[in-house]
Structure 1
């Protein structure tokens, strides 16, 4: 801004305003909204009207170290849209958290949702995808997540404590007991249905 050649061409104020306008244009194009959730009450909270909520988690078997990732999509009334699990075999917990986020975004995109809020209980993974951490910055998986987040939709990725992620945590326990490599749940499975209903009713009354 203070380069002599630049100052001769335009005033510092004009150049500053132009740089700010350029930044705002780029930020708006990326459509990534970084906000902090309300943690004053630690229970599951639904998304804003017109949005869907995606909760993701992982589980690791203590017998064979097999990792599975799980996700649960609910509408703005807390109703069940889709649940899923995928086996990702052996990888670090952080990479599994990122795989869960990637798959949650893919499923939401496939369902043609365009306002999506993702909750996960890994603060490190949340910081990475929101570009608040340089960890794994060269990872192909992280790049794939960033590419997804920059598509023509609105995406929020938030960190929440485990008690606000209980239903998908219950789904994660189911994933370890499954023999298939992947499965989608179009309706809430029995062990999860009660938790989903309880979370929905508590949120609607709050």
Structure 2
């Protein structure tokens, strides 16, 4: 028979797992709202999308900056984890690269609002930027290497350089309805293909 301490431990784990799932659902909801309404969207809208009360959001994230930073980190992790998953999915390496870049562009659209909360002179900005580079550049590099090894793209493309170029294409994407950053990113990615059209 289990003692009371063991019973307490077994009931605590599911609660922690539920709390983590709820927090991730909340971050997913916040990210979706930020894309459509910006980082200044009302907390009640985020709570409604996540199916929780506003108090739950404030319990996890006391300030809007806390929420935005958590969304940023959550999306970096999702983007980082997607790379290996796409390579293992059975898609060609080039198709995996294309899909991953689509996710990266989605991330950049959400990330744009971070500037409203963190200015470049804020130490938190540098920390997040370093985290972004450390997590995502190696993933992009692995996708590029796999596509190059398969003969689908030119070799020698640097992950940081490509990501920086994509980022520059996405600047101001939300400010001008005549500017379609996604289409330009698609053209850039198509340009990675080998010259023989493969």
TM over 0.5: no
Q: Which has the higher strand share?
A: 1
TM-score class, shorter: 0.3 to 0.5
Bigger RCO (CA 8 Å, 6+ sep): 1
Q: Which has the higher helix share?
A: 2
